[in-house]
Structure formats: C-alpha cells, structure tokens
Structure 1
Amino acid sequence: MSLLTCALLLAACGSDDATPPGNAPDPTPPGAVPPSTPPPSPSGVTPPSSAHGFPLSVPALDGYTLVDAFPNVVLHLPSALVWPTVGGAGPFALERSGRVVQIEGGNAREVLDFEPSVAMISEAGALGMALHPRFGDGTGPMPYVYIWYNANGMVQRLSRFTWSASSGTFDRASELVLLEEAEVNYEHNAGRVAFGPDGFLYFGNGDDLNTENHQRLDRALFAGLFRIDVDSRGGTTSHAPLRQPEGGLSTGYFIPNDNPFVGRADTLEEFFALGFRNPFGFSFDRETGALWVGDVGDTWREEVDEVVSGGNYGWPYREGDIVRSPLVPVIGTLHDPKYVYTHAEMGDLTAILGGFVYRGKEMPELVGKYIYSDWPSCRLWALDQSTGAAKRTTLVDNQWDHVPMALAEDNAGEIYLLHATGAAKLVRDAVREQLPKRLSDTTLFNDLATLDPASTLVPYDVASPLWSDGAVKGRWIDLPAGARVEITEDGTLTFPIGTLFVKNFELPPSVTPRGRTRRLETRVMIVGIATTYGLTYKWNADGTDAELSYTGSDEEIVDDAAGQTRSWHIPSFGQCWSCHRTENRILGFTGRQLTADGPDQISRLVDQGVFEQGSSAKLLPRLVRPMDTTASLSDRASSYLAANCSSCHHAGASYLGGEDTWNASPGVALADRGLLGAPHHNPPMAERLGLSNAPLIEPGNPDGSILMARIKSTDPDLRMPPLGRTMVDAEGAKLIEDWIRSGTGY
C-alpha cells in the first residue's frame, strides 16, 4: 500500500459509512508524464505557459499557496508538529506510526520510537502531541512531552515521556500512562493535545462510533474536550480524580477545580465540553484565548465551534444546522456552531480538520481569521467573524499533492499544513496575476461575438454527454505544436503537457433569459507539469466577454419562455477538481466517447493532427447515445451512467468508510457493477430518501431503488451527481427508470 493511500485511509472519517463515493486524490497527471519532470514553479516565479498563456504549473488562484517548510525532511504520515515555546530549539514532529523526530538545521533526527506500542489501524495511531510549556529545549524544568495514541489491545492512551539530557532524546522507558480506556472501534479518535493559556492540558476524543458515549459524562472520556492539570498542583487549583473511566485508569494528574462539571454526581470531572462526534482539531487563539474546534460531521455537515466551558455542541442531536429530536435528556444548553458547510458543496467528500486563528506577521490581512482545512479536499479557508455572521473565503484551492493530515502553528503564529510526507507553510503567491483575466485576454477565440475558435482548436463531440441542466456545449482540444494524443494498446489516451480542453456552456434554445444572453461560461482544462487543473470564465450579461471566476457562484436566471426561475452554478477552482481527478481527470475526451459518429470523427481527428495514423484500431468499443432507441436498453443505460457517474464511481474508488463504490465505468459487465444486493451503505441517506434498507437497485422496482431516487432528486444533499446540476434530467431519469423496471441487464 502506498504512503498516500495510507494517509487517506487513516484520515478523519467524514461519515460512519460515508455518504459520498470518491477516490483518493492522486498527484500524478493524466496520461503519461516523463519520469523526470521539473517541479511546479516556486511562489512568485513566472512558470512556463501554454501557447494560449495558461501557466503549466497550477496557479494559486486565490493568492496564497503552500511551500515545502523542510525541503530535506521526509515525514511519514505526520499527525502533529510542535515547537518548544522557549529555548529556540527546532520543532518536533509526531508520525502516526509512533515515532517522533526533531527538525534542526534542515534535517531530522529520531528522538523517540514507541511504534511497538501503537495500533496503527484505520484512523488509529499516534495522533496528538504537546510539549510542556516549560519544556524549553529539553533542559527546562518540565522536560515532558504528552502524546495521545491508540495502543495495542483496543485501548486509547494519554502518556508522558521524559527528555534525557544525556542522549538528547525522549526515553521510551520513561513512559507514564496518565489515562487509559477501552475502545470498541479504531475510528473517531480525534487526537489533538494542547496546553491552554491557563497552563492546563486539553485533549479531545470522538464518540468511538459507540452510541453509549453520546451525551454521557459518567461512562468514559469520549465525545468531548477534556481539561486536566498535569502538574497536579492541588490546593485551590486542582484535586485528584474522584472517578475512573469505565474499564480504564486515570493517574498522574489532577482535575482543575473550576472544570465545569466538578462536584456533579456520577460524573467524570475531566469533561470541559461535550456533544462532539470527532473533534479532530482544536486550538487556542493566542491573543484572546478563545478555544476553536473543527468537529467532523457524519452524512451531511461539517462545523466549526467556538467552545466555552461546560458547552454542549449537540452530537448526535445536531449535525451542523441539522437538528434531530433528542432520545435522552440533553446535558446543559446546546450551543450553535459558528460556521457550517455542506458535503454537497464539496462534491460529497470532506472531513474537517480544524485549524488556528492567524496571529502571524507575514500576512497581516489574515490576522484574526480562523484558518482551517479539511480532508481530502486539499483546500484552506479563512473564516472571518469580525462583521457578525461568519464569512468564509478561500486561501488555497489547488494543492492536490498536499493531501492534508492536520494543521500546525509555529511560535510566530504562521500556519503549516501537514501532509503525507512532510509539512508545507502557508504563504502568499503572485502566480494569480499571471493568468488571463478575461477570455478576450486569451487567444482561444478569433472572434468572441461568433465564438470563432483559433485555428489550433479542434472541435469534437461525445457519445454520451454529461447532463448539465440542459446546457448546450461546444468542445475543443488544443495541442502543443507538433504534439499528438497517444493511444496505448489498451486504449488509454495520453495527453502532452500543454494540452488544453475548452468547453463552452450556453442555455438551451428553448430558454428565453431575462436581461442576458444565453451564454453562461467557458471552461478550460490545462494539462500541466505536475497535474491538470481547470479554470472557468463567466460570460457577462451582454455575451461580449467572459471574466475569470475565482470562486464559485450561483446566478438566478428568469426564463420568460417557461415562466420560471432556474439557477446556474459556476464551479469554484476546487470544485473542478472534485470531478477531474486521477485517471478520470479528462472525462469526455476518451476513446469510447469519441467514437460518437463511428469512424468518421476519429478519421477527422487524425486528419487534423490530434491522433497518429492508425489510431482508430486501438480505440475501445464506443458508448452508444443514451437516447438512441435503436441500441439496447442496457447499453443505453450503461452509457448514461458512464457519463454521469463514473468520475466518482469507478474501479479503485471507495467511500470514505473504506468500501469499494459501485462501478459506473464503461466496459464493465453489468453484473459486476455492484448495484445489486445489500442495502445502501449509508442508512441516514436511505432514511432521508424514504428508502430505509433499500439497495441501489431493486430489480423491477425503480421506486424502491436508491440509485433512481438520487437521480430524480434536486435536494443538494441527496442528488447525484452532487455537482453540475440543479434540475432533473427527465429523459435520462426515464431511461434509468425503464432499465430498472425491465428487470434484466444488470
């Protein structure tokens, strides 16, 4: 198993049996790239560009980027990065396997290895680390490091290790287990450990997928944030624990006397706040002391909370802004999250990691904003609450080679993102300014009024188009001078670096839009040096030019012909990635799709220099047109599913819970698609559709099939595909309905 795959399997679980299918982000570009290619250009350096002015390095579209913080250091699934607060020593990195290294002088050396004790399974492992505030450089009066980890034998531990001045390492034999408790699942371990401004140690833990941990203070230290006095000061400050967690132990620390549940009968007094599903990352604002947490949602929502002493944040009765009826009395008062976002807006693939309120000096425009990320979208946001309701802006939307594991903050308040093999620092980037800002700034079209393409743009058609609310599309490919698309013996297409794919979207002729032309947007996909990325240009109301869209947006369009309003969504930079990733990054330009008109289109593409002579013999059997009634019903349904579902549902893709998805790829035997059999993997999704315990397809019964219900839904939380449409494709839905009702062919 690759390191990247391990990183993804071990990341915070976004759903118990996560709703969305999706595949692991893959840093390799589509098609073959020479084995020795130059890395993307560093921040602020002009990268090479395509013939039409698009950078071949992925641009920092939002004005920020991530740069390698320690170029000579390779970390293996880092889960924490912490700096001594005094003494000037370099940072310590905790690896999920149970290894700690110190980084100094650009190099790393091992200072602790307790791997034999660690259960590195699923989401489990060594997850959190904090140095005592008086650790110094290891020679201070409190030479301790505190680590939260999953130990062998299905237990969680909070342990203390002591620095050895003679060896310059942490002595493994010095381990003092402060807390140990049994767990039933290797998921929802949270794991962050940090000292608060009050000098007490805080740590978080998820619900362990165990409903007995929900809204409970009397059983064990789960589903909450906890606060202890590791210095055991006593007196008016703290006291020894009065109770032990069920099936566990607690020793070597005291309970702060002002913890919110001190003195309450049958209560574990370590609780500081409760009602969390998996508080994966939390931090303190170093200026105000406010405690912020990112709590991982289940099927529908992710949330950011500002935590107060004794606060109840609602799980399982609240998931973001979704409120359910409590089954047992709720402890105290439920607190609303400060910010909520949906899985739908992320393409149904997300689990919040949390972050830090920025207090650094290098980017003063971010001061006071909460910087956070999620897995595995590779995005960083800034959350601003200075004007009342929280407002989120995107900082980084394109770091496909930095699948995030956690965030860190150095002593100066600068932010770092930990990824599978190292740490990257958040910095400004000037590459944004090198992009064509308008379609007229490019040389893609000779005349925007007529949309006359440049001579190098070659049009093509596809057999089974993706449904995009009925939009009319024009498609072109542009190759570097003298280059050709290669076709391997198995029919795979390989695109040269610098290849562009251009797609124009217009409202269908049946629509009479009020106050604007039918032109909507023009998208450009660029095959770059390290990966493929996409840009979109939004047409103005007059249809005279299109402006580069930096963020996603929605436009409400009044259709006077139909007497109704329809919505059109302009995807964000990151949403383009949600569909265009791994081997499916270029979704329409495939051998099966290009044979839409039999050999005629391939012959034309050969004549126009796109393919070499003889290429047609290597192309795979074509898809049929879904509405071509001369083709078989099963072939038509297969082609429709290939276009509308296979970007997420294909071989090698998995749900966040780890199981394989069903397979919509063309050429897969219908009996092998995984559409039949067991009930849908996500009970909350099935329940909300009114189809509890239903399978994806129930032969002969489209009304009892999850697949059919999601194709017919317009609810952003339920519809499939989750991005790219707001309306139901009536013809496509009727095709799949007829196919399921036929009871054959799958």
Structure 2
Amino acid sequence: MDWLSADANNAAMRNNPWLIALVLLAQASLAASADAPFGLTSRTPWTTSKFHGQPEPPPPFRAERVYPDIQFTGPTVLTGAPGTKRWFVAERLGKIYSFPVEGSKAKPDLFLDCTELAKQLSEHEKQPIEFHALYGLTFDPRFEQNRFCYVCYVVHRRGGRPQDPDGTRVVRLKVSDTNPPRCEVASEKTIITWLEGGHNGGCLKFGRDGYLYISTGDGGEAFPPDGKNTGQDLSDLLSSILRIDVHPADSKRPYVIPGDNPFVSLDKARGENWAYGLRNPWKMSFDRLTGELWVGDVGWELWELIYRVRKGENYGWSLVEGRQSVHTEGIPGPTPVIPPTIDIPHTDGASVTGGYVYRGRQFPELYGIYIFGDWETRRIWGAKVEEQSVGQYRELVEPTVRIVDFAEDEQGELYLLDNDAGTIHVLARNEAKPTHLQFPRKLSDTGIFDSVAEHRVAPGVLPFSINAEQWSDYAVAQRYLALPEKTSIGLHSRAMLIPGKQGSRIMDFPAETVLTKTLSLDLIQGDPASRRRIETQVLHFDGIDWRGYSYEWNEQQTDAVLVAAEGKSRTWHVEDAQAPGGKRVQNWLFASRMDCIRCHNPWSEHTLAFNIAQLNRSHDFGSVTDNQIRTLKHIGVLVDVTDPPDPKDPTAQDGGPKPPEQLPRLADLRDGSANLDLRARAYLHVNCSHCHRFNGGGSAHIYLQHDLPLTKIKALDLRPIQGTFGIRDARILASADPYRSVLLFRLAKSGPGHMPHLGSKLVDHQGVSLIHDWIASLPGKPAESESAKLTQLANDTAAADRSAAIAELLSTPGHALRLAHAVRQRKLAEPNRQLAIEAALQQADLAIRDLFEPFVPEEQRTKRLGESIRPQEILAMTGDSSRGRQLFHESTVTQCRNCHRSEGKGGELGPDLSAIGKKLDRSKLLDSILQPSASIDPKYAGWLVETKAGTVITGLMVEKTDAAIVIKDMQNKQHRLATDEIEALFPQRKSLMPDLLLRDFTAAQVADLLAYLSSLK
C-alpha cells in the first residue's frame, strides 16, 4: 500500500475491512506453500468423553413423531375440519394438503394451491400479482352444512407500493364434498384485507360465539420498532386481534362487525378491532373448556410474550415490549396497557409460538396447563392456568421440534408441527434414562483431561489459539476442542465470506462436541510462577443445543467442581505494581448457566472464539508452526461444505473452498504495530458483538461485528437511546471526538452502565486507550484541542491554580472523561494526578465518580453490595423499620426521598410511597428496586431534552403543548422550555430510577429499608 498516502491508506481501510484483512494476511504470509509441513500429520480419536446429558433432570415429556411416512416443506399450519377426521397442513409457499387422522401410511392429498388464487386475482385485476406466503387456515364451525373454509395468504402487486395495502388477505372458499376433499379455487370470496409486511399475523380461529377472530401484526420488520406507528392506532387493522361475523344476514356482504365489539362507537376507530397493541402475534387458540383466547406475541429485543386476550384490552406495543418501555413518547390507545400474562426473556426464547390449554385425558398431570413453545430454541413450556392467575412456566418437552404450530384433536390431545423437518409429533412421557446423576460434577470426571492436576488433556483433545482475546479481568486462557471419535466440523465456505451476514450457518458441529477454556490469574501480576487456575468453562453441544457450564478449581489445584446453575462469586487478592496501592482485589464471577447462553446465543453462532476469523493464524503445534486452519483441514477436523452460489443474493461469492489468506481474520489486539482500525474493531467484536448484533439481546440497537463497514454499525454519529450520562451533544460514537462518545464513557467507568455488561468487572485500561485513540482517528470534526487546564496540570503548579483547573474539568461528564484519560495515560504531574482523583471521588455526580474509582485502591472505594445482589439472602434478614425510616429521610447514602414522598415528606418526581406496603410485600418491593425498568408507569417515564444552547435535562414530562414543554428534573426543579429552544427531545426507555441502585448499600441497610417501606400502609 506504499502507493497511498497515510491518510488515504487509513480511509480506504476504514471503509473496506476486507481490504485490510487481505493486505495484512498477504503481508503475514499466512498461506503455507503446498510442500510446507503441516502442524499435525494425523489425528488421534477422542474416545474418553463422559460429557453427556445435563446436570438437571430431563423434561418430563418428549416429542414423538407420528405419521412417519408423511413430511411437508416449510409448514405453517396444522388443523382439522369438523366431521372429516382429516388433518390439514398448510405450507408457507402456498400448498395445503390433507390426510386421514388414522391414515399413518396414507399419502397426503393436495387440498389447495394458493398460488392459483394469486393467478386468479392477477387475471381479475389485470395486473401482475405475486404470491408471497400462506399463514392461516381454519374451517367454518358450520362446515358440515356450508362446506366453507377460510385462508389467510399474502400477495404483492408488482410495480405498486413497497408494501401492498391489501396484500394480506383473508378469503372464503368452498370445499368439495368428495374424498379426498378439494378447495374450489373459483369459489374464492374476499372477506377482509390489510397491509402486508414482515409482521402479518394471519392466524384464523372461530370462537365459541361463532365469530371469526383474526390476528394481525404491525406490518413492519424488526427495526425500527413499530415503524408505521400503528400499535396504539385503532384507525387501522394492524397490531390487533380482529373479531368479525362472517355469517351476515345479507349474503352480499363479506362480513359484519358484531355490535358488542369494544370500539364500534369510538370515533375514527375500526370496529373490527377486539384487542390491540400486539407486535407480531404468532398463533392463537381458544380454551375448549372456558372459551378464553390465548395468543403468543413475538417480541422485539428482550421479551417473548403470552397474553390471555380479553375484550378491548391494550397490550402496549409499541409503548412497551411487555413490561419494558420502548416508545414512551407515543400516544397511547384509549384503554390502559395490560401487562403480559407470561413473559419469556430472550435468554430463554427468541420467537414464541402460541399453544393450547391442555384439556385431554392422556396426561392428567397436564390438565389445565397452557402449553406453548419457541421456534428458535425449540423449547416447549407449560404454565398452570388459574381463574385469575397463571403459574410460573417450566420446560416440559425435550427441545427437538422447531415448533411452528400446535393443534388439538377432537379429544383435546396435543399435536406439534415441526417447521424444519416438516413432521408431526405428539407428546409422550420421557422414558429416557436420566443422565443428570451421571453428569460429570468434577472436571476429572469429564474425560477431557488425562491429568487434571497437570492440566494435560486426553488423547484426541486439541489445543487451539485465537487472534483476539476477550478482556477477562487480567485472566489468561487456554482453549481446547474435543470432537467425539473422528467426527468433523463442516465449513460452509460461502457463508463465512459474507460480511456481517446474520444467520448464515458457518460451522456444523457434530453432536457431543466439547469446547473448553481454562482461565488463570497471576496472583503476582506478570509472574507466571504465581499463576492459579480459577475456572474451566465448558461448552457442550448435545446435537440440538449448546449449553455452558463452569467448574471452579480447588485450592490444591488438583481438580475443579461444577458450579451451581445460578453461578457464584469469589474474591481474589493480586499483587500488581501497576494497580493503585500495588494491590488489586478481584471479585471473580462464575456465570450462571442462563448468563452463558446470553452470550453464546444463536445469533453469534454460539461458539464465539472457535470460528474462522479467530482460528486463521499461525499456531505452535509443538515441532511445527503452521496455519491453524490449514492443519485442521489436513487432519479432518474441518471439512469444507461447498455451498452453491445464490444468484438472488447480491452478497453471494464463489462457494468453493478458500486458502487461509482469502478468509476472514481478526487482528491481534496485542500487536501494537497492527492497523488501529483493525485492532479497535476486533476489540469491539470480541467484547461486545455477541450482544450488539441483530437479535443478540443488547438493548442498544448497534451492530459491532468486525467485518461490517462503519456505515452499517448503527453507532457512528448517532445519538444514544440508553442515556447520555449528561454528556453534551452525546453520540454513541462521535467521529473524531472521544469525549462525546458514550461507548467510550461506558468502557471507562465502573458501576452502573459499565460495559461489557457481562463477564468482566474491571476496567480494561489498555482497551479503553485503544478505543479512545481509534475514535480520535475517525474522519470528522476533531474534539476541541487539549484544554489549557490539562496543559497546566501536566506541570506542577500552585495549589490554588490546580484546584481551580481540576474543578473546571470535573464540571461536566465530557470534560471529566478527558481528565480521566489524562489520568490513565499519566499525562499529569503526579501530585496533580492524585489531586484530580481525590477531587473526582468527592463529586455528587455518580457517573463522574465512577470514571475515577478504578484509579484508587479497593479500600478507598465505596463499600457496596456490588452488582451481584442475592435477593433471597436479603429477604432472609430481619430489618429495623426505624432505622429504615432514618435511612429514607435522613441518610446521605440513599436518595430515595429526592424523588419519592413518604409520610408527607420528600420529593414528587416518582410515585408517592406513603401506602406502598398495602400494594407490595417485601419481595416485590425488592424486585421493583432491583429491576426498576421492568415495569414503568407511562406517567413516570423519563425524557431527555437537549436545548440549542447545549443544556441537557433529564426528567418527567409535566406538560407538553405546541408552544412549550415543562420538564421536572431529578432535583424536582421544573424547566419550562419554548419549542423553538429545543434542539432534540428523546424518550428514555429505562426508568429514571437507576439500575443497581442498591449497589452502594450494605445488606443490613437494604433489609432496614424494606422493613420501613413494607410498614407504610
């Protein structure tokens, strides 16, 4: 690249990460010549594995296939028809088949091809119309008399609008009185239509009242959420459950609106709406005993949702996603928001499929349990239904079926439709031998190691190395791959070459694959002789799911013991000459099993470190150093799967196997001479992108994969929606200006809002400096030149002068971030550096204090409960209400009284707590403090206002008119701002009550506070 100037070089590379990768790979000569020796010449099979099953008992049921000779392609609906004793299966691409319920050997008969309906519509309208998808099928309750069925399918009129306003269609068809039955295409009659889009809904069910109920989605894609702003809008048919009478007295009318529908008299409302505020309802059913309607609603970023739907209810989309605020600035519908009946976090599921309340007789223990599932994780759960409540959901069925629909037969027995295999299943008791008793509870029982004490792996277990190490609070890692016998990992060559491609399966792992990582700490930093193994993490693929486990090493370093499912923590004391006071106290967190899968999720391809971009490097195999991918292919660990190019995919590339120099590669973070862009992007990739990617679970909608161009990461020069920490003109990443970049602020601070959110707890000073320098190098208007105050502090100055300079730099979070960087880089004279740290720790602004706490010894930091609060331990303590009253009203530790009133005293920013004990017991009180954003009353939702003068105000919206707004800030001060003064106005998705509010408390103080609050009645 010597033909480019330095600036042009950096710009070209920034805009084309693949160019960087190829240049560096070529320079590094990663491709070995054909005659170079391989790192390994042969492979030893791994035969000692004892890693099978799970440590918990298996689910009580399994899915048993029925109709073994019948299979469908991409099925979406399974249903029956009155009086036929036949099943009907609809495929997404338009065909519907039927076969006898008792006909396990029968061949399915074609019932309807919906593409013929699209052709017929095209001929009628005399314009090209394309069939898109088939979503719904049901049969008239009077089917035996009128022979009617109803189908919901989607079409698109070519050359029309981007979305067809009448593209989602519910039609009625006549069914022949033959065996097998056939739909009469010419009999099609349009019943109702609405806008087609990514979220169409389309489930059709008749209620006990004889009316047809129809689900509709918001007509959009995942982002932006509710892009058509329709969730609370009753003037259209979107985001709703519709209820119509398809048996009108006037046969010329397709339907009439029942007179008792809730919104028939509401001005400008569509009377068809029965309930609303749904995002993407996928499958609904009526309880055959009670007649109640149950709906599964596919969530957005954090939750999957189940609703027991009732007349006129509002389920909140997109003001909320379940209980989580989304668009608090939106105009709510005419009825109050109802919380979900069941909410499933994205750690458990990712795409819910609504089910049925079981009313069969085969399994008495399931009677009255609502059974539902998740398309993505294949989990199937059940929750006991009571008259006014629903119990906690629990896993019922082994996760083998990608559940796309449930059905029940005439006896109320449940059937499951598998989207992937196109097969039909029933429930059966799980008679498989429980494996939890044999699951290895000690590392020495796993078969992974030949000698655990010597950390020597068993024959066939292969060590591997990676390019970019995740920050793990100074720990060093050793990694191993174990494949059973001589099985192989299939590489989908084309998928690995598509930059930023989501959902492209790159590696196919064999069942019983085990990936292992042992993390060790130097108890004297930099001295390998003091190194102790802390934790061995294991990822196990059982053929369906990846599951994560942690083993804690004992004091003798002879073995490690399986950590309980909820995780644990342990404190280590490290001598570190670079740490404040020469010592470092580490609270090591062993992740819960649920936290493991939050990072090792389907969207990040599960394995995180074992992928092409990480493995594409030289590795010391002992006697030979060779490119890792080249050697692993040579011994049959990696096997290329050639994917044919997809002509419809503009990103498709040649599907043939590629040599290492043509494959992706992450930069080595330890190589200071490597390209700054590559190292920074690699750092964000390994530390952040497992959450911050499409569907990764990160609540900030940013994409931080290393191979995406900067224009695609949705962070550059965009305003943050998760808080600004009071930084003026804040951006997630502000081009050329680190001190307006919230991403850098989060990396640099400790406490609430620190990132990465999971895994590490200590600030990575080298990583922060790397990202600081990278942001500063981005093209754009650079940050203000280095403050004269900092230049002044670089030299020893008079005490009065330096105190004033420090006070000025600590006056705003952005300037404080600049000062913290100077402290980190030791750019200040040492007396001034210490004075700056001491002054920062006295600041009232917690965010500023948190920037500087990493620079002082542990004993000088605020003594806190910390971030891993165990509620049951606190609830087991007996608090003192009088001490709690003093804590609430007088202590400087808690700021409760600044926002809440109690006994006639306190602020009015938040709800009055004078009678909170009547509403919430101690457990619910603690939960509301620990998770303040889980449920936010819209009238207490926060707003952020930035004025044209640069002032940033966060608080409650007291008043809003066309001319002005009034905001009440955290100090209960009201700010009246004329509309023309406002630069920007943003809703806050998180509660004004901060997360981890109790981290500064002792357990006894929390118990006292709970005792006081619960006494307020």
Would you say same fold, with TM above 0.5?
yes
Taking the aligned partners of 1:273 and 1:489, their CA distance within structure 2 comes to 47
For 2:660 and 2:86, the matched residues in 1 are separated by 55
Q: Distance in 1 between matches of 2:68 and 2:523?
A: 54
- CA–CA distance in structure 2, aligned partners of residues 576 and 601 of structure 1: 39
Name the CA shift for 1:558/1:361 in 2 (closer, same or farther; >3 Å): farther
Task: Name the structure 2 match of 1:701.
Answer: 737
1:21-53 CA distance string (max 9 Å, x none): xxxxxxxxxxxxxxxxxxxxxxxxxxxx95313
Specify the alignment match of 2:342 in structure 1: 339
The residue number in structure 1 matching 2:791 is none
Q: 1:449 to 1:129 in 2, by over 3 A?
A: same
Aligned length: 646
Answer with 704-713 or 277-286: which moved more. Answer: 704-713
State which of 169, 178, 195 in structure 1 corresponds to 2:191. Answer: 178
Q: What residue is the counterpart of 2:199 in the other structure?
A: 188
Q: Which runs of 5+ in 2 are unaligned?
A: 1-45, 120-127, 158-163, 221-226, 497-505, 526-531, 575-583, 639-657, 781-1017
CA–CA distance in structure 2, aligned partners of residues 488 and 186 of structure 1: 31
1:252 to 1:720, Cα distance in 2 relative to 1, 3 A: farther
Choose which of 747, 770, 775 in structure 2 pairs with 1:740.
Answer: 775
Deviation of the 1:316 alpha carbon? 2.4
Q: Using the TM superposition, give the Cα deviation of residue 169 of structure 1 relative to its aligned residue in structure 2, in angstroms.
A: 0.7
- Tell me which residue corresponds to 1:408: 407
What is the one-letter code of the residue matched to 2:414? E
Contact kept in structure 2, 1:290 and 1:306, CA below 8 Å: yes
Alignment pair present for 1:536 and 2:537: no
Tell me if structure 2 keeps the 8 A contact 1:534–1:577. Answer: no
Q: Residues 676 and 590 (structure 1 numbering): CA distance in 2 closer, same or farther, change over 3 Å?
A: closer
User: Is 1:571 aligned to 2:571, yes or no?
Assistant: no
Q: Cα offset for 1:314?
A: 1.9
Give me the whole-angstrom Cα distance separating, in 1, the residues matched to 2:740 and 2:263: 48
CA displacement at 1:499 relative to structure 2: 5.5
User: Could you tell me which residue of structure 2 aligns to residue 132 of structure 1?
Assistant: 140
Matched residues in 1 for 2:762 and 2:139: separation? 53
- The answer as to whether partners of 2:173 and 2:185 remain within 8 angstroms in 1 is yes
Looking at CA atoms only, which structure, 1 or 2, has the larger radius of gyration?
A: 2
State the partner residue of 1:161: 173
Is 1:71 paired with 2:68? yes
Distance of 1:338 and 1:293 partners within structure 2: 10
Query: CA 1:276–1:480 in 2, change beyond 3 Å: closer, same or farther?
Result: closer
Does the aligned pair in 2 maintain the 1:596–1:623 contact within 8 Å? no
Corresponding residue SS for 2:434: helix
Q: Aligned AA for 2:480?
A: W
CA contact under 8 A between 1:463 and 1:596: conserved in structure 2? no
- Per-residue deviation, 1:132: 2.0
- Partner residue of 1:205 out of 187, 204, 216: 216
From 472, 475, 478, the equivalent of 1:474 is 478
Aligned to 1:383: 383
State the shift of 1:418 in Å. Answer: 3.7
Aligned residue number for residue 83 of structure 1: 80
Q: Structure 1 residue 378: deviation in Å?
A: 3.2
* Matching of residues 438-453 of structure 1 within 5 Å: 438-440=440-442, 441-445=445-449, 453=457
Is the CA contact 1:94–1:126 (under 8 Å) kept in the aligned structure 2? yes
Change (3 A) 1:397 1:714: farther
Query: Which runs of structure 2 are paired with 1:286-325 in the superposition (5 Å)?
Result: 286-323=288-325, 325=328
Q: Secondary structure of the equivalent of 2:311?
A: coil
- Structure 1 stretch 632-641 or stretch 687-696: which is displaced more? 687-696
Alignment equivalent of 1:504, drawn from 507, 511, 518: 518
Deviation digits for residues 291-325 of structure 1 (CA, Å, limit 9, x no counterpart): 22222333443322221112122222222112454
Choose the corresponding residue for 1:101, options 88, 97, 103: 97
Residue 39 of structure 1 is matched in structure 2 by none
Q: 1:487 to 1:421 in 2, by over 3 A?
A: closer
Q: Flag the structure with higher helix content.
A: 2
The CA deviation at 1:283 is: 1.7
The equivalent of 1:285 in structure 2 is 287
Query: With structure 2 as the length reference, what TM-score do the two structures score?
Result: 0.53
Which one of the candidate residues 253, 257, 269 is aligned to 1:251? Answer: 253
Match of 1:92 among 88, 91, 105: 88
| Distance (Å, rounded) in 1 between the aligned partners of 2:659 and 2:455 | 33
Q: 1:535 to 1:275 in 2, by over 3 A?
A: closer
Shift of 1:735: 2.0
Counterparts of 1:685-700 in structure 2 under 5 Å? 686-690=720-724, 698-700=734-736
Deviations 1:123-147 (A, max 9, x none): 9622111112343xxxx21322112
Of 223, 242, 266, the residue aligned with 1:226 is 242
Aligned partner of residue 515 in structure 2, secondary structure: strand
| Inter-partner Cα distance in structure 2 for 1:624 and 1:309 | 57
Tell which deviates more after alignment, 571-580 or 275-284. 571-580
In the TM superposition, residue 204 of structure 1 has moved relative to its aligned partner by 1.2
Corresponding residue SS for 1:111: strand
Counterpart check, 1:215 vs 2:232: yes
Could you tell me which amino acid in structure 1 is paired with residue 775 of structure 2? I
Shift of 1:419: 0.6
Q: Does structure 2 retain, via aligned residues, the 8 Å contact 1:124–1:189?
A: no
Give distance in 1, aligned partners of 2:599 and 2:428.
Answer: 22
* 1-structure distance, mates of 2:487, 2:332: 68
CA deviation vs aligned residue, 1:482-524 (integer Å, no higher than 9, x gap): 789999999999988766432235677589xxxxx98455314
Alignment check: 8 A CA contact 2:61 2:398 kept: no
Structure 1 residues 222 and 654, CA gap change in structure 2 (3 angstroms): closer
Give CA deviations for 1:517-574 in whole Å, capped at 9, x if unaligned.
9845531435x7x67844525549989653487xx63435566887786654233499
Q: Within 5 Å, give how 1:23-38 maps onto structure 2.
A: none
Compared with structure 1, are the counterparts of its residues 729 and 415 closer, same or farther at alpha carbon in structure 2 (3 Å cutoff)? farther
For residues 389 and 433 of structure 2, the distance between their equivalents in structure 1, rounded to whole angstroms, comes to 29
Q: C-alpha distance in 2, partners of 1:682/1:396?
A: 46
Q: 1:377-414 deviations in whole A, cap 9, x for unaligned?
A: 33333334669674232345754xx5444443444331
CA distance in 1, matches of 2:237, 2:596: 37
Whole-angstrom distance in 2 between the partners of 1:161 and 1:682 = 53
Question: Which stretch shifts more, 414-423 or 257-266?
Answer: 257-266
Q: 2:305 and 2:636 mapped to 1: Cα distance?
A: 54
Are the counterparts in 2 of residues 696 and 707 from structure 1 also a CA contact under 8 Å?
A: yes
Partner of 1:433: 434
Contact 1:686 1:706 survives alignment (8 Å): yes
Deviation of 1:709 (Å): 7.1
1:224 shift after superposition: 1.4
Distance 1:148 1:75 in 2: 19
Q: Percent identity?
A: 25
CA distance in 1, matches of 2:185, 2:493: 55
Report what 2:711 is aligned to: 676
1:574-723 to structure 2, matched below 5 A, reads 575=597, 578-579=600-601, 585=607, 587-588=609-610, 593=615, 595=617, 603=625, 625-641=668-684, 643-644=686-687, 664=705, 673-676=708-711, 679-680=714-715, 686-690=720-724, 698-702=734-738
**3-state DSSP class of the match of 1:303?**
strand
Q: Tell me, yes or no, if the aligned pair for 2:620 and 2:626 is still in contact at 8 Å.
A: no
- When the two chains are superposed, the root-mean-square deviation of aligned CA atoms in Å is 5.2
Q: Go from structure 1 to structure 2 and tell me whether the alpha carbon gap of 1:586 and 1:298 turns closer, same or farther (over 3 Å shift).
A: closer
199-208 or 479-488, which deviates more = 479-488
What is the CA distance between 1:647 and its match in structure 2?
6.5
In 2, distance between residues paired with 1:734 and 1:191?
A: 52
Q: 1:261 to 1:149 in 2, by over 3 A?
A: same
1:43 matched residue in structure 2: none
Give the deviation of 1:674 after TM superposition. Answer: 1.3
Change (3 A) 1:354 1:467: farther
